Amino acid sequence: MTVYGIGLGPGDADLVTVKGKRALESVETVYSPGRLSRSVALEYVDESKIGDLDFPMTRDPEKLRSAWKEAAAEVASEAHEDDVAFVTLGDPNVYSTFGHLRRTLETFHPEVELEVVPGVSAMTAFATALGVEVEAGTGLALREAANGTAPTGPDRMILFKVTDAPATYEKLTEAGYDIRFGRRLFMEQGETVVTDDPAEIDERDYYTLAYAEREDLERDLATAEFDVDDDADTDTELEGTA
């Protein structure tokens, strides 16, 4: 049987992919690492199909490894009988807890088949929510910015885990970046906030990201600027030949 790692998207049940929905509906048990992913999964499966796994709130590596070994054993046992799923917000391969389960299963239960169903990640959803175009030829770096850190260097960055927005904002503006923040983008749980004012999101929230772009960044796009006067002259000439 198969264990599906299913990406549920950023938190809006309508953004679950068609393939993800079909996989959810086809399995016998759906495991979730947290309350938010569970609530999205419940839009497509009955609560009776939800399996429980215990993940301790700790950074102790030994306790974490022990917890994931127990979780993998539970999932593998169920997968010997029927297909099962492990769901996660975003995409299973982007900042996801599914990676821990995949590595543990591959190590201790190599007989279990694994299949990943990708989902819409915050890395792509941010572009729509913040009104940012990632055009052809763009260099875009992905960085973490937890606890007020502010990585610099690339011209354009997506910053994940922005848990101290004011500190990150101050450091990046001093380094010459324009910054916009997005919190709980496309999430049905909590308030979605898009702002360039860090004071609006000064409380800690794991589901906060930022888009940083150098102030002097130049773009060379054919359609970046149109000369309205030239367009008007062209239209007049075309009308005269009609």
Q: What is the pLDDT of residue 232?
A: 53
Distance CA(196)–CA(215), nearest Å, equals 14
Domain ranges in the chain with CATH number 3.40.1010.10: 2-117
Report the SS3 class of residue 78.
helix
Q: What is the pLDDT of residue 213?
A: 92
Q: What is the pLDDT of residue 241?
A: 55
- Mark the ranges of the chain whose per-residue pLDDT is less than 50: none
Tell me which amino acid residue 65 is. Answer: R
b vs e for 95-133, b when ≥16 Cβ sit within 10 Å of the residue's Cβ? bbbbebbbebbeeebeebebebbbbbbbbbbbeebbebe
Q: What is the pLDDT of residue 239?
A: 58
Q: Cα torsion for 95, 157, 159, 10, to the nearest 10°?
A: -60
The interaxial angle of helices 98-108 and 61-79, nearest 10 deg, is 70
Tell me which amino acid residue 222 is. Answer: A
DSSP β-bridge partners for residue 3: 84, 114
Q: What is the pLDDT of residue 134?
A: 79
In the chain, which ranges are continuous DSSP H helix?
A: 18-26, 35-41, 61-79, 98-108, 122-130, 165-174, 228-240
Domain ranges in the chain with CATH number 3.30.950.10: 122-214
Would you say 187 and 167 are in contact if contact means Cβ atoms under 8 Å apart? Answer: no
Tell me which amino acid residue 126 is. Answer: F
123: left (phi over 0), alpha (psi -120 to 50) or beta: alpha
**Antiparallel, parallel or unpaired: β 208-214 and 177-183:** antiparallel
Q: Which of 3.40.640.10, 3.40.50.300, 3.30.950.10, 3.30.300.30 would CATH assign to domain 122-214?
A: 3.30.950.10
Name the fold adopted by 2-117: Cobalt-precorrin-4 Transmethylase; domain 1 (3.40.1010)
pLDDT digits (tens, 9 = 90+) for 97-127: 899 999 999 999 999 999 999 999 887 888 8
pLDDT digits (tens, 9 = 90+) for 184-223: 988 888 888 999 999 999 888 888 999 999 998 877 666 6
Would you say 168 and 150 are in contact if contact means Cβ atoms under 8 Å apart? Answer: yes
